[in-house]
Chain A
Amino acid sequence: MKFLHLVWKSLMRSKRRTFLILCTLILSVFLITILQSLLATLDAVSNKPTEGNRFVVRHKSGLTQFLPISYGEYLRQQPEVLAVANSQWFGGYYQDPKNFFANFANDETTMFQVFSDRISGLTEAEIKEYQRDRKGCIVGQILADKYGWKVGDTIPLTGTIFPMSPQLTIRGIFKGRMASEENTLYFHYKLLEEGVQFMKGKTGAFWIKTKTSDDIPRVANRIDTHFANSPVETMSEAENAFYLTFVKMLGNIGAIIHGVTIAVLIAITIVTVGTMSMAIKERTTEIAVLRAMGFSRARVLFLLMAEGLLLVTLGGALGIGLASLVAKILREILGSALIFLQDFRLANETILLCMGMALIIGFISTIIPALAATRRSIVEGLRAL
């Protein structure tokens, strides 16, 4: 411990050089941490469990077209189907357009079957109360915490897609598996139908839960065939079809991110090796003087290694700190636009990985010049000027 002071002062020998290499380290670790976390988050989002036996039926020509609610009749008749919930993205905001979050008009009864994996933590009584109150709504825990909402509060929702701004009473606060699931509000589908003339008898989508995921291709195909050549044709998609295309894309993103990571690692290793060898080489005489006064080779090696590792530890910690700050900002600012970013976090494994890489870089780039410096004879070192 008494040598720490010496190590610190040696590191601060050239403040400008240390500052520059530190900035380089911080930026590199930051970049790698953010990219790797992005990859991990995308991976987690695209590997959500239990979404396998749910699919969506929507208008063939896109999300802005509506299906007749009467189609639900046929859907419910299919033997593989457990439950059908009509659902419409409402796109409202609370008080201010900045306060934007996911909000849907959903069938108030069947949604609890179709989305049982996404919504939990509500009591029977709360669900009953919600279903009874046409102007009731349920909100996710994170959303409730963010705005300080409690059960019983009335909240105004201003429509942006539909000419309707309902006053909703919170009847329950639910839990989800991820932040994006809890950042959501649901209200009665019938309220939308009653409030918006052109939505009467129409819905944006039907969410359908089947007995098994193997049923989906068959039943989806049957539904689309049934409505083919009718005035309103349907298009059925597995919920994770979106994620599946996503995962495929992720393969490429993953390769790119890993490529960038390796490139940054190589670059930073070269820069650190250069800096450390310079920092050690210019101390040749000093090292000889220390050894003359009794510092052993091992002791000098230890001091030099400590210096290199201290540098990369600082760079690594500050880089990761910066990354977690940026992750928080991304979550809070961009999370409302890109839903998956609400789950953007630095995983512990990512932090450990980045810190580990920083330490390895520090180790290699210091051990090489440090060994060379301590192998040199004292007399030679004293002569070098």
Chain B
Amino acid sequence: MSQPTAPIIHIQSLAKSYFRETLEIPVLQGLDLDIPAGGFYALMGPSGSGKTTLLNLIAGIDRPTGGLLEVCGSNLNQLNDDELASWRNENIGFIFQNYNLIPVLNAFENIELPLLLTSLTRAQRKEKVEEVLSLVNLMDRRENYPRQLSGGQEQRVAIARAIVGNPKVLVADEPTGALDAKNADEILEMMQRLNEEFGKTILIVTHDPKAANCARHQVHLEKGILDKTVEVNR
């Protein structure tokens, strides 16, 4: 697959600090990063280096203290909270380490959640949910509740939920961190497929070198500063 030119994620001198009372704790400092549409990037680095923070900023669930943040054609700094919420609904799919499914909803209903915010009819929602259910191979588990699913199955439901609204970008914070090797492989394979077949731009945070090797680029963060970006030879 040839690499598209215009970056879907464009970051310039991005800074993020936390404030404890008057004390400023800088986490990210003057970060520059461009990720092209269709890219598969793994974000690596020691614990506390700011990986989750960067991912949250890109996904629009956190606000930077400074710098430019352009994702999917929107300057996130210029969106208010409500605009940012519907922007996320349209553009970002989230995959978490702990799956974070809603325990009182079954697989189908969990996947349907992001679609409730759209103007789709019930029948259209059903069609889309079933489409992604079969994509993650869980058609027979549609009525099951999260507690009736294995970790790997839960994460597949979470992936289905992340892609059901057809977002351009998927963000995943240690998506395999809670899984055994076999299930982790399955999830990584699925993400590769989403990247290659469906052209999703994927950004994952991981400690696991094997997971990082599934990506096509690895970005290293060190104390809030981008260390280096390397291309992965697969």
| A interface residues, Cβ below 8 angstroms from B | 2-3, 5-6, 9-10, 12-13, 285-286, 289-299, 377-379, 382, 385
Assess whether B94 is in contact with A295, with CB atoms less than 8 Å apart: no
Task: Name the B residues within 8 Å of A290 (CB-CB).
Answer: 102, 113
Contact status A293-B81, CB under 8 Å: no
- Contact in complex: B81, A13 (CB < 8 Å): no
Given contacts A293-B114, A294-B86, A294-B117, contact A286 B102 (CB under 8 A): yes
Question: Which parts of B74-121 form the interface with A (CB within 8 Å)?
Answer: 81-82, 85-90, 92, 94, 96, 98, 100, 102-105, 109, 113-114, 116-117
Check: B62 CB closer than 8 A to any chain A CB: yes
- Please give me the residue from chain B that is nearest to A14 by CB atom: B104
SS class, residues of chain B in contact with chain A: helix
Query: Which residue of A2, A285, A298, A379 is within 8 Å of B56 (Cβ)?
Result: A379
In the complex, residue of chain B having the shortest beta-carbon distance to the beta carbon of A383: B52
Q: List 27 A-B contacts (CB under 8 A).
A: A3-B116, A6-B105, A6-B109, A6-B113, A9-B104, A9-B105, A10-B104, A12-B104, A290-B102, A291-B61, A291-B85, A292-B61, A292-B94, A293-B88, A293-B94, A293-B113, A293-B114, A293-B117, A293-B161, A294-B117, A295-B117, A296-B85, A297-B82, A297-B85, A299-B117, A377-B62, A378-B62
Tell me the smallest distance from the CB of A279 to a CB of chain B, in Å: 11
- How near does chain B come to A287, taking the closest CB pair, in angstroms? 10
Taking Cβ atoms with an 8 Å cutoff, the residues of B that contact A are 56, 59, 61-62, 81-82, 85-90, 92, 94, 96, 98, 100, 102-105, 109, 113-114, 116-117, 122, 161
Taken together as a complex, chains A and B put the C-alpha atoms of A5 and B88 apart, in Å, by 23
Name the one of A2, A9, A298, A299 contacting B122, with C-beta atoms under 8 angstroms.
A2
CB B146 to nearest CB in A, in angstroms, measures 11
Given contacts A6-B109, A290-B113, 14 further A-B contacts (CB under 8 A): A3-B116, A10-B104, A286-B100, A293-B94, A293-B117, A293-B161, A294-B114, A294-B117, A295-B117, A296-B81, A298-B82, A378-B62, A379-B56, A382-B61
Docked CA distance A290–B59 (Å): 14
Residue in chain B with minimal CB distance to A378: B61
CB distance from A380 to the nearest CB of B (A): 10
Tell me the nearest residue of chain B to A289, going by C-beta.
Answer: B100
B85 neighbours in A (Cβ, 8 Å) = 291, 294-297
Nearest CB in chain A to that of B101: its residue: A289
Chain B residues whose C-beta falls within 8 Å of the C-beta of A377 in the assembled complex: 62
A379: chain B residues within 8 A (beta carbon): 56, 61-62
A292-B94, A378-B61, A385-B98 are known contacts. Are A297 and B81 too (CB-CB below 8 A)? yes
CA distance A385 to B85 in the complex (A): 23
> With A293-B94, A295-B117 in contact, do A285 and B104 touch (Cβ < 8 Å)?
no
Closest to B161 in A: A293
Q: Which residue of B lies closest to A300 (CB)?
A: B85
SS class of chain A's interface: helix, strand, loop or mixed? helix
B94: shortest Cβ distance to chain A, in Å? 5
CB distance from A301 to the nearest CB of B (A): 12
Once the chains bind, are A285 and B82 in contact (CB under 8 Å)?
no
Q: Which 3 A-B pairs have the closest CB atoms?
A: A294-B89, A378-B61, A296-B85
Q: Are A13 and B61 in contact (CB under 8 A)?
A: no
The distance in angstroms between the C-alpha atoms of A168 and B62, with both chains bound, is 89
Measured in the bound complex, the distance between the Cα atoms of B82 and A382 in whole Å is 19
Shortest CB–CB separation between residue B181 and chain A, in angstroms? Answer: 24
Bound CA span A290–B116, Å:
11
Tell me the minimal C-beta distance from B76 to chain A in angstroms.
14
* Cross-interface CB contact of A13 among B90, B104, B117, cutoff 8 Å: B104
Query: Bound complex: CA of A385 vs CA of B94, how far in Å?
Result: 18
A382 to B55, CA, bound (A): 13
Find out whether the CB atom of A289 lies under 8 angstroms from the CB atom of B94.
yes
Nearest B residue to A381, CB-CB:
B61
Task: Chain A residues near B89: list those with CB within 8 A.
Answer: 293-294
Q: Which residues of B contact A382 (CB under 8 A)?
A: 61, 96, 100
Which chain A residue lies CB-closest to B82?
Answer: A296
Whether the pair A292, B59 counts as a contact (CB closer than 8 A) is: yes
Question: How many angstroms from the CA of A55 to the CA of B215 in the assembled complex?
Answer: 100
| Most interface-central of A3, A290, A297 (chain B CB within 10 A) | A290
Q: How far is the CB of B79 from chain A (nearest CB, A)?
A: 12
**B171 to chain A: closest residue by CB:** A292
Separation in Å of the A224 CB from the closest CB of chain B?
76
User: How many angstroms from the CA of A294 to the CA of B91 in the assembled complex?
Assistant: 10
Q: Which residues of A contact B82 (CB under 8 A)?
A: 296-298
Report Cα–Cα, A291/B82, bound state, in Å: 10
Task: Give Cα A297 to B100, complex, Å.
Answer: 19
Who on chain A is nearest to B59 by CB?
Answer: A292
The answer to whether B86 and A296 have CB atoms under 8 Å apart is yes
In the complex, which residues of chain A have a beta carbon less than 8 angstroms from the beta carbon of B105? 6, 9
Name the A residues within 8 Å of B113 (CB-CB): 6, 290, 293
Closest to A294 in B: B89
A2 to B82 CA separation, bound complex (whole angstroms): 20
Closest CB in chain A relative to B133 CB, distance in Å = 17
Expressed in whole angstroms, the Cα–Cα distance for A293 and B81 within the complex equals 13
A contact residues around B98 at 8 Å (CB): 385
User: CA of A286 to CA of B92 in the docked complex: distance in angstroms?
Assistant: 17
Which A residues touch B87, using CB under 8 A? 294
Contact A289 B102 (CB under 8 A): yes
Shortest Cβ distance from A385 into B: residue: B98
- A6 to B102: give the CA distance in the assembly, Å: 10
In whole Å, how far is B8's beta carbon from the nearest beta carbon of chain A? 18
Q: How far is the CB of B100 from chain A (nearest CB, A)?
A: 5
How far is B98's CA from A2's CA once the two chains are assembled, in angstroms?
A: 27
